[in-house]
Amino acid sequence: MAHAVEVRGLKKHFEKGDVRAVDGVDITTEEGEYLVLLGPSGCGKTTLLRMIAGLEEPTEGDILIAGNVVNGLPPRARGIAMVFQSYALYPHKTVLDNIVFPLKAAEIEPTVRREKADWAAGLLGIDHLLDRKPRHLSGGERQRVALARAIVRDPSVFLLDEPLSNLDAKLRTSARDELKRFQEQLGTTTIYVTHDQVEAMGLGDRIAVILDGKVRQIGPPRDVYSDPADTFVATFIGAPPMNLIDRGDHLLGFRPETFLPVGAINGTGGSVLEVDVRAHRIEYLSGDRHVFATVSGLGPDDAQIIARIPATVDAAVTVDRDQRFAVHEKDLRFFDGETGKRTDPRPVRS
């Protein structure tokens, strides 16, 4: 079976400002997959999406949709639909006219148009809004209209460009859940761009972490989280980020939730590394405790780290007193001191 979307050696070079927005990207998506492109702003993820959509021409490389090279084809010939960050609804058209616009452009019969629009509106629960103009809708409703406009044409690929970033924080969680269920219902291959790692972890079947126009790592959320390919991925994903301790020619890393008071560590997980820790501040966040502390003995210098003690662990932690914390050696990750890339485990004690 052909890949839903495949990009090969894709590059985009902007003459203005001499920017390499996308600098050699290879990605393939499977049919029905939810792929998230995650990266900080300016990393090239939106440019990558716009090239797949056909809104930008790549400087180099190929884009394949359903096995066919689509370079040079206009968006309408690519079988894609896109939802924009601003939703880009047509302000002078009613919700219904917005939804049927792609069908009108494809010169589909008016009766069929209406049927499809009703189906899409029903699916998204916006049937009662069809006569309204976009300016009378809330942010969440606008987003649904944008989605409805995207699905009426039955595209083979959905491209979503930060569709949740214009919603307020409270709405975002429920919108995320809806978006995921919606995609599962339709089973359409989706490429989703975001800078929010929570969205990426929650929505993606796989995540491609992008920095400076290059894919740093691609894989299921669990793998990207627990086995980051380099120090950028290690610190960009996870809140608080992975702790990194400089040990000269390499860095030692561990996730905050793997670093616990000695008494709380599970004894069955293999050998354990114990260290002295002096906490200087503790934050209580939705049950978990974030311990900001200094560790000594892991590197040439003392290092600042953050430990996250889950709500289920009630070991006492006191500020400004030396305590023993421990981490399973299997939870330790090692990175090259020069390149930041993952390396083989090193002996922890010298």
Partner 1 sequence: MTPAQTVAGERILEPARPKRRLADREGLLAKLFLIPTFVYIVGLVAFPFVLAILFSFSGVTTGNPSLEFVGLRQWRTILGSSVFWTSFWNTLTFTLISMTFVVLISHVLATILVKDFRGKWIVRFCVLLPWTTPASLAAVSWLWMLHSIFSPIDWVLRWVGLIEENMYWLGRPFLAMGSIIAVNTWRIVPVATVIVMAGLMAIPDDINDAVEIDGAGPWRKLREITLPLTLPISAVAALFGAILTFADMTIIFVLTRGGPTQSTQTLSSWAYFKGIEGGDLAQGAAVALFLFPLLLAAAIAILRLVRRSEVM
The CB-of-85 to partner 1 minimum distance in angstroms stands at 8
Contacts to partner 1 from residues 85-104, by CB under 8 A: 85-93, 101-102, 104
Q: How far is the CB of 162 from partner 1 (least distance, A)?
A: 12
Q: Looking at 2-10, 24-32, 80-88, 226-234, which segment touches partner 1 (CB under 8 A)? A: 80-88
Helices (runs of H) and strands (runs of E) counted in the chain: 8, 19
Closer to partner 1 by Cβ: residue 55 or 171: 55
Q: Parallel, antiparallel, or unpaired: how do β-strands 250-254 and 243-246 relate?
A: antiparallel
- 14 is a site residue for partner 1 (CB under 8 A): no
Which residues lie below 8 Å from residue 114, measured CB to CB, with a gap of 6+? 100
Kindly write out the interface string for residues 100-139 of this chain, putting x where it contacts partner 1 by CB under 8 A and - elsewhere. Answer: -xx-xxx----------------------------x----
Q: How far is the CB of 185 from partner 1 (least distance, A)?
A: 22
CA neighbor of 238 nearest in space, from 33, 25, 27, 38: 38
Site residues (CB under 8 A) for partner 1, limited to 293-312: none
- Residue 166 found at the interface with partner 1 (CB under 8 A): no
Distance CA 297, CA 17 (A): 46
Q: How far apart are CA 81 and CA 98, in angstroms?
A: 14
Q: At closest approach, how far in Å is the CB of 97 from partner 1?
A: 9
Please give the size of the binding site for partner 1, defined by CB under 8 A. 28
Report in angstroms the alpha-carbon separations of 142 from 91, 101, 194: 11, 16, 19
CB of 106 to partner 1, least distance (A): 6
Nearer to partner 1, 68 or 86 (CB): 86
Among positions 30-69, residues that touch partner 1 (CB under 8 A) are 50, 53-55
Q: Which phi and psi angles does 61 have, rounded to 5°?
A: 100, 170
- Euclidean distance between CA atoms 128 and 29, whole angstroms: 36
Residues 316, 328: Cα–Cα separation, whole Å: 20
Give me 243's structure tokens.
């702790």
> Minimum distance from CB of 291 to partner 1 (Å)?
44
Q: With binding defined as CB under 8 A, does residue 347 bind partner 1? A: no
**CB burial class (10 A; 0-12, 13-18, 19+) of residue 282?**
middle
Query: What is the nearest approach in angstroms of partner 1 to the Cβ of residue 154?
Result: 13
Report yes or no: 322 and 278 within 8 Å, Cβ to Cβ.
Answer: yes
170 is an interface residue for partner 1 by CB under 8 A: no
Among 113, 149, 176, 342, which residue sits at the site for partner 1 (rule: CB under 8 A)? Answer: 149
Residues that bind partner 1 (CB under 8 A): 50, 53-55, 74-76, 80-82, 84-93, 101-102, 104-106, 135, 149, 153
